[in-house]
């Protein structure tokens, strides 16, 4: 059986230091996304799933009594928005320097852009390279909500894991 390779996604050869990648997809976060994700991951902070609690304990700006979107969900969505253009042909190895810059609420739409910080051939895996990117998740008005660096091992074009 021959290998079937997806037609889209970047391979190691497609990355260069300083490259800016504006990811095309956006994603609107809903209360259902937030509540299900929070409960699925056993997060017991009621600010993510108990509206009464949020109204009583976070009535002021910027919350206005609204449920706060779980930061791990924000990270998951923004990472997902970047996969097609970054790690579709790879495996995540590490995460660093994550900051939640502004809160996210249901109804907010998120977008992402990434900058290639480093791209080098793997010393231990022939046919692969290591890429580190800095990704920023932001709202339509350009307000940054999350920033992080992610390192992944990515295949070279035509290579398979051996």
Q: Can you tell me the distance from the alpha carbon of 146 to that of 57, in angstroms, rounded to the nearest whole number? A: 24
- 70-118 pLDDT, tens per residue? 999 999 999 999 999 999 999 999 999 999 999 999 999 999 999 999 9
CATH topology of domain 12-155: Thiol Ester Dehydrase; Chain A (3.10.129)
Q: Can you tell me the distance from the alpha carbon of 57 to that of 127, in angstroms, rounded to the nearest whole number? A: 53
What are φ and ψ of residue 130, in 5° steps? -105, 130
Specify the pLDDT at position 5.
45
Peptide bond just before 62 cis, omega within 30 deg: yes
Q: Please compute the mean of the pLDDT values over residues 58-66 and round it to a whole number.
A: 97
Specify the pLDDT at position 7.
55
Residue 27 makes CB contacts below 8 A (sequence gap 6+) with 77, 80, 81, 109, 110
CA-CA-CA-CA torsion sign (69, 72, 77, 79) = positive
Q: Please compute the mean of the pLDDT values over residues 120-139 and round it to a whole number.
A: 97
Per domain, the residue ranges of the chain are 12-155
The packing angle between helices 71-83 and 31-40, to 10°, is 110
pTM for the whole structure: 0.92
């Amino acid at each position: 059986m021959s290998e079937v390779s997806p037609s889209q996604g970047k391979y190691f050869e497609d990355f260069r230091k300083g490259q800016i990648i504006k990811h095309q997809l956006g994603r609107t976060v809903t209360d259902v996304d937030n509540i299900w994700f929070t409960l699925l991951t056993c997060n017991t902070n009621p600010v993510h799933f108990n509206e009464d609690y949020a109204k009583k304990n976070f009535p002021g700006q910027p919350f206005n009594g609204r449920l706060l979107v779980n930061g791990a969900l924000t990270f998951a969505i923004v990472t997902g928005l970047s996969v097609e253009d970054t790690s579709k042909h790879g495996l995540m190895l590490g995460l660093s320097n994550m900051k939640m810059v502004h809160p996210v609420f249901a109804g907010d739409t998120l977008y992402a852009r990434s900058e290639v910080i480093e791209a080098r051939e793997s010393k231990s895996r022939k046919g692969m390279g290591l890429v580190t990117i800095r990704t920023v998740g932001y709202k339509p008005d350009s307000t940054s909500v999350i920033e992080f660096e992610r390192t992944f091992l990515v295949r070279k074009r035509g290579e398979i894991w051996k």
